[in-house]
């Protein structure tokens, strides 16, 4: 019963480097989300997907790209990392129309950009 | 856009006592969901309790209960018989009915003292 798995759990990047965060879920959830968590700001939605092959912008999408080529995977990419992207990133998933029951979250990725 | 405000950045309580965490939100919607999530030092986001706005009865889950005041747009969390394991960051969250964009407050760090 893995639920939502995020890899890696920790990463340090240099400014300008690129990387991809992987989110995988085994619950057959249609909807998936990427959030970032910063001190004093709670969690903010970056991008989300309502199904395979679809993506949409959330509250803070700038500097990030996403892809949902397979239903179970949702990738978050940083093309040119900046120190402002230092954060903890969370992936979450839910069934369509059942977000009211809450999301299932991964355990997060702590990213530091130096 | 919906906003969620948690006015208490930090709180502490003695073990076995009761504590109440505050949350207010701003919305023009009539149908929505409200949530409290717990984030212990492990970083995992754990759903504590949820409330559907159309239900007048306050939700209860064991030692956790809410005081939902729809007119006042208030959604406080009461933790009874506090335990050391309740030490965590607590996030209040809002989601419109039929929408999957969950919005979070900045969080309240709760410390339970022995």
Average pLDDT, 10 consecutive residues per value, chain B (114 residues): 89 98 95 95 94 91 96 97 97 87 94 97
- pLDDT over 70 (residue A98): no
What pLDDT, on a 0 to 100 scale, did the predictor assign at position A1? 61
Looking at residue B98, its pLDDT comes to 76
Question: Are A40 and B9 inside 8 Å of each other by CB?
Answer: yes
Structure tokens at A58: 């959330």
Query: Cα(A100)–Cα(A94) distance, rounded to whole angstroms?
Result: 9
Distance from CA of A80 to the nearest CA of B (A): 26
* A41 DSSP β-pair partners: none
Q: For residues A85 and A74, what is the distance between their CA atoms, to the nearest angstrom?
A: 19
**What share of residues in chain A are helix, strand, coil (percent, to 5)?**
5, 50, 45
| CA gap A60, A44 in Å, rounded | 7
Distance CA(A32)–CA(B100), nearest Å, equals: 9
Q: Is A99 close to B99, i.e. CB distance below 8 A? A: yes
- Give how far B52 is from chain A: nearest CA, Å: 8
pLDDT at B19: 98
Q: What is the pLDDT of residue B47?
A: 94
Nearest C-alpha in A relative to B2: A59
Are A107 and A88 a contacting pair, CB within 8 Å? no
CB pairs below 8 Å between A and B: how many? 57
Listing DSSP states for B66-112 in one string gives: EEEETTTTEEEEEE-S--GGG-EEEEEEEEETT----EE---EEEEE
The average pLDDT across A53-65 equals: 95
pLDDT at B39 (0 to 100)? 97
Whether the upstream peptide bond of residue A104 has omega within 30° of 0, thus cis, is: no
B104 to A44: CB separation less than 8 angstroms, yes or no: yes
Instruction: Give the nearest chain A residue to B36 (CA atoms).
Output: A102
Q: What pLDDT score does A99 carry?
A: 64
For A67, the token pair is: 């892809």
Mean pLDDT (whole number) for A44-60: 94
**Contact between chains at A107 and B43 (C-beta distance less than 8 A):** yes
The C-alpha atoms of residue B22 and residue B8 are separated, in whole angstroms, by 7
Give the three-state DSSP class for A83. Answer: helix
Question: Can you read off the two tokens belonging to residue B110?
Answer: 């709760």
Q: Which residues of A are less than 8 Å from B66 in CB distance?
A: none
Query: Cβ distance A72 to A53 under 8 Å?
Result: no
């Amino acid at each position: 019963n893995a639920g939502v798995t995020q890899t890696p759990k920790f990463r340090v990047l240099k400014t300008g480097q690129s990387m991809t965060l992987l989110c995988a879920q085994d619950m057959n959830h249609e909807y998936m989300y990427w959030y970032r968590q910063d001190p004093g700001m709670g969690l903010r939605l970056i991008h989300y997907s309502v199904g395979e092959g679809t993506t949409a912008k959330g509250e803070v999408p700038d500097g990030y790209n996403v892809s949902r080529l397979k239903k179970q995977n949702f990738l978050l990419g940083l093309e040119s990392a900046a120190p402002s992207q230092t954060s903890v990133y969370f992936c979450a998933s839910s069934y369509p129309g059942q977000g009211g029951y809450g999301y299932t979250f991964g355990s997060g990725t702590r990213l530091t950009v130096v | 856009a919906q906003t969620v405000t948690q006015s208490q950045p930090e709180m502490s309580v003695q073990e076995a006592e009761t504590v109440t965490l505050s949350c207010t939100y701003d919305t023009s919607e009539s149908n929505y969901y409200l949530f409290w999530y717990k984030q212990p030092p492990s970083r995992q986001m754990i759903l504590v309790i949820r409330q559907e706005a159309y239900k007048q009865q306050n939700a209860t889950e064991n030692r956790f209960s809410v005081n939902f005041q729809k007119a006042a747009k208030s959604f406080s969390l009461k933790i009874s018989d506090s335990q050391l394991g309740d030490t965590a960051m607590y996030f209040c969250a809002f989601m419109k009915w039929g929408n999957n964009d969950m919005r979070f407050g900045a969080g309240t760090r709760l410390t339970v003292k022995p």
